Chains A and B, each alone.
Chain A
Amino acid sequence: MSNTDSFNLKQDRRQWLKTTASAVSASVLPLPSMAAETTRESPAPATGQTAKTAAESNPASHFFTPAQHTMVEELSETIIPADKHSGGAKAAKVADYIEQCLRETTNDEDRALWHEGLRLVDLMSKHYTGKSFVDATPEERLSILTVLSDNEHVTELPEVRFFRELKRLTTRGYYTSKIGIHDELEYKGNRILMEYVGCDDPTPPTTS
């Protein structure tokens, strides 16, 4: 899946942009754990005009709808998942951090990019997996975001710009959280240290 040499994001997106909630096309991607093509009716998109209007009508409360918030949780968890070592982005409440950033920003372009990005990634998910992003398996989610990650230089595409912002805010939010700093990195600093341990230099010091 990480090898997308034969895959052209710009060409393929023409297909998935046409994808609707019910119409599922065959994937060109070698998706892992794609059991069978499903024709199950997917739930309504997590994003869309309704959600956008709700957020804009009441920007002081929430930027994301509950469904969008769930999707952002899964997106961030896909970038930094829980593993044997520590909790992931979901446990670190990265979605709440992103929500706060977007609720308070004065940059309308950022806000629009997030709404558009969530919509496009859900369309991609439906095209390739037949399911919304939230309903896709963790492996499928990873496959979808890997397409964007492998194409992160194609910045003229809004879904790529969205992915870059998603990754930036996810890493920022995660590695500034308690879980990120203490559990994951086991950061040793920011405390009184009587003597910096460092490394003993075997070369004799210069004497004057």
Chain B
Amino acid sequence: MVEPEVNLSITYDAVIIGSGAAGGMAAHVLTSHGFKVLLLEAGKKLPIEHELRSMEWPYDNRYRGELPPDRHSLSFNEYTIRRPPYGPGFEKSKHLHSYIGDSDYTKNICVDERENPYTGTNYAWVRARCLGGKTNIWGRLALRLSDYDFKAKDRDGYGENWPISYSDLAPYYDKVDLHLGIMGVKENLPHLPDGIFQRPQKLNCAEVTLKQGLQKMGRTLTQYRAGVTSEGLAHNKYRSRCYGRGACERKGGCDIHAAFDSPTGLIYPAMDTGNLTLRTNSVAREITVDPNTAKASGVRFTDAVTKKDYAAKAKVVIVAASTLESARLLLLSKSRQHPNGIGNSSGHVGHNFCEHIMGPGVYGRVKERVGKPPTLDDGRPGGFYLTRFRNLAEKHPKFIRGYGFEGGSGCSMFPPGTQAPGIGASFKEEIRKNQGAYIGMGAFGEVLSRYENYVDLDPNIKDKWGIPVLRFHYKFGDNEHGMAKDMADTAQEMFEAAGFEIVHINKRVLTEGWSIHELGTARMGSDPKTSVLNQFEQSHDLKNLFVVDGSAFVSASCQNPTWTIMTLCWRSCDYLADEFKKGNL
């Protein structure tokens, strides 16, 4: 891998802030167009295979895979009882992490909450500051959005349509599928378009039973569409095909990179072009503006370790720091020309913040599986996806938009059922006999994009590097709570239809933010008064400023966003390269 020296005396063609799904994709597309690119990442480059250790047995790990005792990760109760910032009250723990940072495999990937505080309403904000960001540990469900999402306003009158249609994105979804690899089964659903799939995994027997029960109800259960290569990628030497090595449900990623992550999938290949320069430990503080042209001129950043300040110059600035960090950076970048923050003449930066609501679901037992010899069920990236069925042909009286379920069943390394009542020989035998008999699923539903749900800068609190932090003004509304009730009801109904014994119906809504699918804080649109970006994720205010992550979303859909973030980004960067060559930026 060629890694050019960082040279801050030159003007790069483009500087990208953030190295996750969006930043990695921008680096890939622009370097392939011949751009000289500087990629800034706030965190460090971790020895990621050493962090993940995907095949380590728990008994070979000092803490059996759990968080070392001098660290603490926030629980649902703590997120509920306490208000941010989440640092105070945990002084005994050397490091404090979000709920995802609760294993020995994610502890160095997730940020320390105390170094990175935030304020306002309760929010389980998961951040990964390291090369690749959250793609190192993402859930891998790789779904396409459809015109049921892009043109949702036409169907129910709510919110705004996207400034694009599925037909604009379809060719780019295809490119992403082929470049990164995706497993799945074609289903011919208008609301969940098929991709160019590699060999799918199979369902197990309990999942097939559920699928058959749902078919009678006209609902579709399909194999987990995973952003994982099952057949390998001839053009990528950094990633292996999936070998179903098991324990994929463990929090942590894939150390052979069969599951997509931004470094091996996008950044290392981009470096091989010789066009990409990477600087880690670079905490962006401000997008700078040329006082003469009023255009973006680069980025001012602080070295995370030395705390020294630097400036990078570029002809185009691409923000890909994650939905919330990107909004924060735009708001931080105040200048004479852009007093409300760069690219924020609309006043919409930080607003229309949306995501997925989760929590409701069901847990059941398949009697036919009780007492059967153990099977290998966790050697696959996920179980199943039960696709949206609400507000497609019919209108639900209580809420608009929809939700889908993720679920799975079968044996796992740590058995289910250890929290069942009882002790002794019968308790032990019950766990053994039932270890492969449980099936569960949980819903992800669209949270409506609302102007009133927003983030702004806290006037008082600063992070470890002296940068003002985000303040949340964000709550689920009536539509979300109506939907959550329906999620629990339909989950029960579907398990009953499949003939499963219901063990537990979960009606509890998890803390805002739990889905880690935050979106919409710099939305696209055709009207510069009500949107921040145009359909190519280009600022309405500054032609050479692009925001290419989840913040560009106009609505949340109920389908997981990562694949669409990368698809939009690819399309936008193609447009950017074209405009750049024409001298229009």
Say yes or no: A196 contacts B201, CB within 8 Å.
Answer: yes
Say yes or no: B432 contacts A189, CB within 8 Å.
Answer: no
Can you list 10 A-B contacts (CB < 8 A)? A176-B59, A177-B59, A188-B375, A190-B245, A193-B379, A194-B243, A199-B207, A201-B203, A205-B185, A208-B194
How many chain B residues have a CB neighbour from A under 8 Å?
59
A37 at the interface (CB under 8 A from B): no
With both chains docked as a complex, state the minimum distance between the C-beta of A142 and any C-beta of chain B, in angstroms.
Answer: 5
When distances are taken between beta carbons in the complex, the residues of chain A under 8 Å from B94 are 106
A167 and B245 alpha carbons, distance in the complex (Å):
30
Give B contacts to A, CB under 8 Å: 55, 57-59, 62, 64-66, 68-70, 92-94, 185-188, 194, 201-205, 207-208, 211-212, 215, 243-247, 373-380, 411-415, 418, 421-425, 427-429, 431-432, 435
Q: Which residues of chain A from 176 to 208 have a CB within 8 Å of any chain B CB?
A: 176-178, 181, 184-203, 205-208
- Contact status of A173 and B428, CB under 8 A, knowing A187-B413, A188-B375, A191-B245: no
- Contact status of A201 and B208, CB under 8 A, knowing A79-B427, A175-B414: yes
A101 at the interface (CB under 8 A from B): yes
- Cβ contact of A187, chosen from B194, B212, B374, cutoff 8 A: B374
When distances are taken between beta carbons in the complex, the residues of chain A under 8 Å from B187 are 206
When distances are taken between beta carbons in the complex, the residues of chain B under 8 Å from A152 are 421
- Contact status of A189 and B246, CB under 8 A, knowing A106-B93, A196-B202, A198-B202: yes
Q: Which one of B205, B243, B376, B378 has the highest number of Cβ atoms from chain A below 10 Å of its Cβ?
A: B376
- Cβ contact of A185, chosen from B204, B374, B377, B379, cutoff 8 A: B374
- Cβ contact of A190, chosen from B68, B246, B428, cutoff 8 A: B246
When distances are taken between beta carbons in the complex, the residues of chain B under 8 Å from A145 are 423-424
Say yes or no: B201 contacts A198, CB within 8 Å.
Answer: yes
Bits for A133-148, please: 1 = Cβ < 8 Å to B, else 0. 0000000001001100
- Contact status of A193 and B376, CB under 8 A, knowing A78-B423, A176-B59, A198-B204: yes
Contacts A83-B429, A152-B421, A184-B428 given; 9 further ones with Cβ under 8 A? A79-B427, A105-B69, A142-B424, A189-B245, A192-B243, A197-B375, A199-B205, A201-B208, A206-B187
When distances are taken between beta carbons in the complex, the residues of chain B under 8 Å from A14 are none
- Cβ contact of B186, chosen from A88, A105, A206, cutoff 8 A: A206
- Cβ contact of B244, chosen from A186, A193, A208, cutoff 8 A: A193
- B424's nearest neighbour on chain A, judged by CB, is A142
When distances are taken between beta carbons in the complex, the residues of chain A under 8 Å from B422 are 149
- B90's nearest neighbour on chain A, judged by CB, is A106
- Contact status of A176 and B414, CB under 8 A, knowing A106-B69, A193-B244, A197-B375: yes
With both chains docked as a complex, state the minimum distance between the C-beta of A40 and any C-beta of chain B, in angstroms.
Answer: 26
- B212's nearest neighbour on chain A, judged by CB, is A203
